[in-house]
Amino acid sequence: NVRMWEHPATQANMATLKQRGVLVVEPDEGPMACGEYGPGRLAEPPVILAAIEATLNDGPLKGRHIIVTSGPTHEPIDPVRYMANRSSGKQGHAIAGALAALGANVTLISGPVSIPDPPGVITRHVETAREMRDAVQAALPADAAICAAAVADWRVESADQKLKKDGSGQPPALALSENPDILAALSVPGPNRPQLVVGFAAETEKLTEHATAKRARKGCDWLVANNVGGTGIMGGDENEILLITDAGVESWERMNKSEVAARLAERVGAFFA
């Protein structure tokens, strides 16, 4: 029950247990049999299983904290409309799960998606690019950051009321402002910079040229690029990528996004090994 869980005595006892090294599977949040709503529901079996596996996992990323961003951002235009893109979050969520399977402590910062949170990771839900930026900064420090989210480049000053047609045939004027660059900010040298920063580039033409230039411009260590101009990539279950690093450009064959995630997670593990 939410009131039992949030009671100061319960929280003090939980804090004591954690200080003694006891690992805790936090309760789920949602409606309860008693009719109340909040944190207090028993965690689902897959979540409990993932916590057990993570505890026993002596994988190459054990003890590493990795931030992953995933999904789109929604930039409000008025109370009922927003700007967005076609990102489903499938690739970013799969990466978060694959990293956790190798023992990493993963913080997933997710924009609005319709897929479930991957088990075994801490998920923070956001809506806008600025909220995602703030959540990423709050999650630091981290050993690595993988920016798989398709963050909107632009936002508008949201209207307080719904924008209506006035009969003139002219659309309302929307003044665009540039959103914060999360990847570039993470890549700036300094004490809070993760050891490994990985960016993503969704392109529709000149994939290698544009992605290589983006990696140099952003200052990230690796860049994962894909051509989303075709069918089945943006929002689909498969991906075909280029991995650009100091060593050059690798072309990965088309495969399921979960396979891409596992392969990328293995490369991250090798980096830290």
Residues designated as active site:
34
Q: Which residue has tokens 């050059």?
A: 248
DSSP string covering 191-239: TTS-SEEEEEEEESS-HHHHHHHHHHHHT-SEEEEEE-SSSSSTTSSEE
Q: How far apart are CA 26 and CA 31, in angstroms?
A: 16
- 75 three-state secondary structure: strand
Q: Identify whether the C-beta of residue 84 lies closer than 8 Å to the C-beta of residue 74.
A: yes
CA distance 230 to 235: 11
